Structure formats: C-alpha cells, structure tokens
Amino acid sequence: MYFRGQKFLVAGISRSGESSARFLLARGAEVYVYDDVMGGNVEKTCRELVALGAKKVTEENYSEAVRECDVLVLSPGIPIDNPLPVTFRRLGKAITGEEELASRYLRATQIAVTGTNGKTTTVSMINKVLCDCGKNSVMCGNCGDPSLNFVEKLSFDDFAVMEISSFQLETLSGLRPHIAVITNITEDHLNRHYNMENYVYLKSKLIRSLRESEYAVLNYDDERVRALAQSTKGKVVFFSVKEQIEGACLQNGNLTCFGKTYFKASDLLVGGEHNLCNALACVAVCDILGLDVHTAGKSLCSFKGVRHRIERVAEIDGVTYINDSKGTNVDASLKAINCMSSPTVLLLGGKDKGYDYTALFDEISKGGKVVHVILYGENRYKMLNDCMRSGFMNFSLCSKFRDAVALAKNVAEVGQNVLLSPASASFDEFSGYEERGDCFVDIVKGYENARFSV
C-alpha cells in the first residue's frame, strides 16, 4: 500500500484507532480522524493527532471527508453495518481495520487466537511459554497493545501472539498467521452479528486464508469448530479433553501431543475443564513450533491465570469473593459456575447481547451449585423472565451494580462464594469488563479494610 498517495478516514478514536492514525501519519498518509462521541480521552487524543498533521472530521465537514477519503479504517467498536462503512461500500471504497494493517506489515511470526471463550487465557499461556523458552514474544490485538504498535519493534525472529475478536474479524481479510487457534464457538454477540451462521462464519475467517504451510489448531470437542477443518487449506491439528485423538489430548492423566508428554493435568494451577482445554491448545502450538517439551510443560504448570477470569479476590467472614467479570456470555458463566466447589451466590446482569438466558437458568436449577442469584443491570427484567420460566426462585432484583454486590454480601453465608460472572456485557454502567471487575475488587477490598479497621 502506497500511503502517500491515499487519504484515510480513521473512524473510532479508541486504542486501535489512535494506533492506526499514528501509524499512517508516520508514513506520510493524509489522515482524517472521526469519532461520534467526543470529550474526555477521545478529545485529547484527537488534539494530539491533529498536532501531528491529522484533520479532524466534524458534522460540518463529515460529508466532504467521506467523499475525499479512499480508505476507511474502522474501529472494532463500530459495526460493519453502521451507516459510515455502508456508505463506503456503496461508493466502492476500501474498508480495513487496525489488525488488518498490522497483519500486512508485522515481520514477526504471527500466532492468532479466536473463539467465544478462552482467547485471553490461551494467548497468555502461549506468550508465557514462548518467553520462558527464550523467545521474544508479545501479546497484542484484542488483549495487550494494538498490533500496529509492534511493527517497528519486532523482527523476523520474534513472535506476535494475537487475540482476535469477532468484531476485528469483520474487517480482516488478509491476516494469515503461521498458527491460527480456534478455542470454541458458542452463542455470543448476536445483538451485533444477528445469528449464529454469521458469527460462525466470522470466526472461520481466521483459517480460511491459510496455506498448506500453515496450521489450524482446532477444538475437536466443539462440533462447530471441528467442522471448520473443511474450511482451510492449512494443516489441521486437533486438541481434545474428551477423546483420545491424533493431536493434543489427555492420556492417563497427562497432557500429550502426538505421543509427547508435557505434564500431568493435576499439576495445572488453574482449575476447570475449560483451562485444560486452553492448555491443550497451547501444547499443540508448542509442538508445531518444536519448543522444548520439559520447558514448555514447566512453564504451563506455573501459569496462574488472567485477571477478571475466575479470580479469587478475598475471603471475608467465611465468604469467598470471586471475580469473573470476563464471563460476558452464557457459556463463560456456566464454566465459572462449574468451577465452584462451594455453594455460590451468583451476580448476573449488565448490557444485553441478544441471548436467551433460559439455558443458563435451566443449568442453574438442576446443578445445585448456585443457591441464590442477584439480578441487576439493564437486562435484569429479561433475565428475571427466563429465571422464572426455568423455575428457579431463589433470586433478588436490583438496578445498580454496587447495590447488587452489597446485596450479595448480605445474602451469602459462611462457607459460600460470591461469584461475579454476569453473562452480559458491561456497557450499561462501565467502559468494559475490566472496569467492572476492578469495581468489584475495590468494593470487596473495601469490605475487607472495614473489617480490619473495626
């Protein structure tokens, strides 16, 4: 791409939008920056970009900018069916994203991970093993810094381990990683992607462009993912917790890959079948890269998990508080519930993502692990309807998050857990699941400090 000969409209001045604008400006491109929500950090970032030579798009010059610009660089936060990208498509103009730009110019070996759940954990595992094996590796994409930030920092001997969301996949066409991992595909983001067919197709884009010299690491236990093996020319390596397969699997209580034993499943610090699944995906990547089996196994056994994913916060007056703010869909919350070894008070709610929550409450009703549910947030009444339809009657209802945590504290008894695993997005009250999780931790720490100050 010849940057000096084209005009770019960067829409959405988030982390990825800022990174895209800086990348393009540094290469002499003419850059227009636009965000429909100004103020705060967005306004500050726009001023900085204008100082570097960008042109700010306002309501007055919006139509002119759309006519003038050749390429739209779309933030993942803006849907592909938004009027702006729709207009660019009608005009026959190019649409791209930060991750697409990065895929063209990164020199490092790219390992890309997508899926409904387990992306961040799997990326973190792979990155840790690579670093512990003496490789220069970074996490980027949907977790860590934007991938474009590493174009000049990484060389051919380095690794970029990228988390790729379905939002990013909307504008990705040229990403061709050396290894692509799909962890699982369950219902998520249907408020944006409309139906499961669209969602599955977006996830499959990660492996559709692979060549015969590249690898697709796929979850054999997930029927949707297993079927995607027919959608790629890359070499397929399966991983499975449930079956003895040719690939990465459990054998006699050990995590193995093509006959090589990496470590005992009981030595993994992070619990739950889903983490065994994530670790097996990592083991498959290790085998493809030819990493030392002993070093890789030792590294995985010392992995302590990621923030906001089944994270133990504190035990106060005999009640254990657990932060799973990253559980933003039904499947993730069910996995968190299944990890609980004590009766649990569950915090559910937030911004609706288009789910039917009946399956969640059906499992809660028959599972016996959840003794009480606190329903809060914008979607609390929708959840309430599905809760009652399932016949689960041990619930409380409130509007705000802080009130929900306080209510859970009062409901929980000695020996029980309070689990935040909302099965919902956070955007009704927070900027993201991280802010929601941090708020939960701060509230719990406040309870702890109050106990010690008495």
Listing DSSP states for 257-280 in one string gives ETTEEEEEGGG-SS-SHHHHHHHH
137-141, strands of its sheet edge to edge: 137-141, 159-163, 109-114, 179-182, 215-219, 235-240, 247-251, 254-257, 260-264
pLDDT tens digits, 306-362: 989 999 999 999 999 999 999 999 999 999 999 999 999 999 999 998 888 999 999
30-34, strands of its sheet edge to edge: 55-56, 30-34, 7-11, 71-74, 94-96
Q: Which residues contact 104 (CB under 8 A, 6 or more apart)?
A: 1, 174
Return the structure tokens found at 234.
Answer: 């890359």
Q: Report the C-alpha dihedral over residues 278, 281, 287, 292, rounded to 10 degrees.
A: -10
Prediction pTM value: 0.89
**Which residues of the chain are modeled with pLDDT < 70?**
452-454
Which ranges constitute the DSSP H helices of 162-292?
166-169, 190-193, 196-208, 223-227, 273-289
What local confidence, expressed as pLDDT, does residue 453 receive? 54
Which ranges constitute the DSSP H helices of 96-149?
98-105, 119-132
- Cβ proximity of 220 and 247 under 8 Å: yes
- Cβ proximity of 348 and 375 under 8 Å: yes
- Cβ proximity of 352 and 380 under 8 Å: no
Percent helix, percent strand, percent coil in the chain, to nearest 5: 40, 20, 35
Question: In sequence order, what are the beta bridge partners of 94?
Answer: 71
Return the structure tokens found at 97.
Answer: 């994203």
pLDDT tens digits, 374-388: 999 999 999 999 999
Length of the chain equals 454
Q: Which residues contact 189 (CB under 8 A, 6 or more apart)?
A: 166, 167, 199, 353, 354
d(C-alpha 50, C-alpha 55), whole Å: 6
The CB density around residue 413, as the number of other CB atoms within 10 Å, is: 12
SS3 106: coil
In percent, how much of the chain has pLDDT > 90? Answer: 88
What local confidence, expressed as pLDDT, does residue 454 receive? 47
Any idea what the Cα angle at residue 179 is, between residues 176 and 185, rounded to 5°? 90
Return the structure tokens found at 410.
Answer: 């009062």
Residue 248: left if φ>0, alpha if ψ -120 to 50, beta else—which one?
beta
The CB density around residue 441, as the number of other CB atoms within 10 Å, is: 19
Phi, psi of 355 (to 5 degrees): -85, 155
Q: Report the C-alpha dihedral over residues 356, 357, 359, 361, rounded to 10 degrees.
A: -160
